[in-house]
């Protein structure tokens, strides 16, 4: 069962999303990477979408057989899909998707119509984690 939560389009939502990641992933060895990824994706949604103008955003965390998938859906923007570009070396911002690209095994974005945009990242499980996940009984939780 996925973990899904709706947050206001405010900077403080990044901290709440990190708490959701910690709760959803527990002792997963890549929880720190997942926390940084979710923080960057939520911050981007707040800064670069209509969600940050009094709207909302949604976070979903799913345990799949071979990975953990993290998604942030926002209310879109005039700019369309996010673009990965080289950051300005002197700027104090602009490195979010560079960090996501470095930490995630794969990531991407798509528009879901009705002005909704989704940015996702996947963290692949190791063979040891996959066998542990398959041998344990499923637990359904959510927010």
CATH classification of the domain holding 60: 3.30.565.10
Cβ-in-10-Å burial (0-12, 13-18, 19+) of 143 comes to middle
Which of 104, 83, 102 minimizes the C-alpha distance to 94? 83
Q: How many domains does the chain have?
A: 1
Q: Give the sign of the dihedral formed by CA 69, CA 40, CA 84, CA 71.
A: positive
- Both tokens of residue 112? 């879901």
Per-residue pLDDT of the chain (143 residues), as tens digits, is: 789 999 999 999 999 999 999 999 999 999 999 999 999 999 999 998 999 999 999 999 999 989 999 999 999 876 655 544 555 554 445 567 888 999 999 999 998 776 889 999 999 976 445 454 554 444 444 54
Q: In the block, which residue shows the tokens 């939520």?
A: 42
Full domain range(s) for residue 63: 3-82+90-135
**142 within some domain:** no
């Amino acid at each position: 069962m996925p973990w899904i939560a709706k947050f206001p389009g405010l900077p403080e939502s990044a901290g709440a999303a990190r708490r959701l990641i910690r709760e959803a992933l527990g002792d997963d060895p890549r929880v720190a990477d997942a926390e940084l990824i979710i923080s960057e994706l939520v911050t981007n949604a707040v800064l670069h979408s209509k969600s940050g103008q009094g709207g909302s955003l949604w976070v979903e965390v799913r345990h799949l057989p071979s990975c953990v998938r993290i998604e942030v859906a926002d209310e879109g923007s005039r700019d369309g899909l996010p673009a990965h570009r080289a950051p300005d070396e002197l700027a104090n911002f602009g490195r979010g998707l560079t960090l996501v690209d470095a930490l995630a095994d794969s990531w991407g974005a798509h528009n879901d119509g009705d002005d909704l945009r989704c940015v996702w990242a996947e963290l692949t499980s190791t063979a040891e984690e996959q066998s542990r996940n398959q041998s344990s009984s499923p637990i359904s939780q959510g927010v």
